[in-house]
Amino acid sequence: MINLELPKKLVAASNQAHQAAAEIFRPISRKYDLAEHERPVELDTMASLVEGMADAGRGAAGATLGRDGKPTKEGNINGGNMSALMNVIETCWGDVGLTLSIPFQGLGNSAIASVATDEQLEQFGKVWASMAITEPSFGSDSAAVTATAVQDGDEWVLNGEKIFVTAGGRSTHVVVWASVDKTKGRAAIKSFVVPKDAPGITVARLEHKLGIRSSDTATIMLENCRIPFDHILGSPEVDVKKGFGGVMATFDNTRPLVAGMAIGCARAALEELRSILSEAGVEIDYNAPAFSQHAAAAEFLTLEADWEAAYQLSMKATWMADNKKPNSLEASMAKAKAGRTGTAVTLRAVELAGSFGYSERPLLEKWSRDSKILDIFEGTQQIQQLIVARRLLGKSSSELK
């Protein structure tokens, strides 16, 4: 029998994140959406709170993913991944862009937590790390990385250009994907922790965007950038047989987290829409068939059912990550479902609310803009469906493109 009730420790952390979302994020959400690239100084007050949550294995955006706990005799734990999912759902209920702007909680932190050694976690566990994968020549095909890393004595020398780096302007470090040997293909792609004050790294520009406007998105240049040798995450050896799996395994932890972001944003839209419908005299009746209710109520029930499916898929993928079970299929399923559902729910909420939903009086139109990125970054909808197809059909990336 499956127990879907959250344990008390997760409920307490989730409630704390919800309080921060309601009292800090929501009141300043519109302000920083309109003031794009302005640093949300209100989040500085959260630094100590976030650090305390991370120390307890409950990072607001996943800084301690998968680092705590081992399966019990029954094979069941709820660790850093589940804590991060619950927290990010609540903070994105408040604001997605502000969640991505929380100090020390970048997606690069999740990568560090996923694959770093204990020594590296001690070294980089308190930094603010963004993630730099995408380049001008490719988007979702992570194997097409052209940035290079060459060993020079006890240092690595990195060269390349990275675009769409979330929190790239404000973070203190960047986790950069680069190839250590172009002749060996995707197996040679490694991730490196690059301090922003390292020689040769510059922030070239900040992007103007449709949504998550309070979060800075940067283009980063690496020109003979030198970092210490031990700043490589994982082994520097190129294992052609093992291939690209070691680096890509990071996504098995972070994709359910992005799904959680979409779930939080979509829940905010559903709650707002229900309030608007109720004020208009449209009530949702769970004891009556959808076809016998008002058309808007029937539509709401459909959207809510899709949201519930996305939530459960994300919970499953996250639980599997905490319990050290292979979850690549489930992580992509959760990301695909939640990304698509988040966009559908927020856009439909704007439509059902009419001219009021299209105005800037509620946050509905903002949530519809914010949610779109959650179906794109960390692997687009199409990429997730391709991964799911490969896993279900037992095909490799070369067999099914």
How distant is the alpha carbon of residue 338 from its chain centre?
Answer: 12
Cα 255 from Cα 334, distance rounded (Å):
8
To which H or E segment does residue 60 belong? none
To which H or E segment does residue 166 belong? strand 155-166
For the CA atoms of 377, 54, 326, 8, what is the dihedral angle to 10 degrees? -110
Cα 391 from Cα 395, distance rounded (Å):
7
Q: Are 105 and 63 in contact (CB under 8 A)?
A: yes
123 CB-contact burial (10 Å; exposed 0-12 / middle 13-18 / buried 19+): middle
Residues in the chain: 401
Cα 210 from Cα 37, distance rounded (Å):
13
Q: Are 253 and 195 in contact (CB under 8 A)?
A: no
Residue listed under structure tokens 């500085």: 44
- Given 90, 135, 272, 378, the catalytic residue: 378
- The alpha-carbon radius of gyration of the chain (Å, integer) is 21
Phi-psi region of 212 (alpha: psi -120 to 50; beta: other; left: phi over 0): left
Establish whether 378 is a catalytic residue. yes
- The helix/strand/coil state of 315 is helix
Amino acid letter, 132: A
Which residues are tagged catalytic?
A: 378
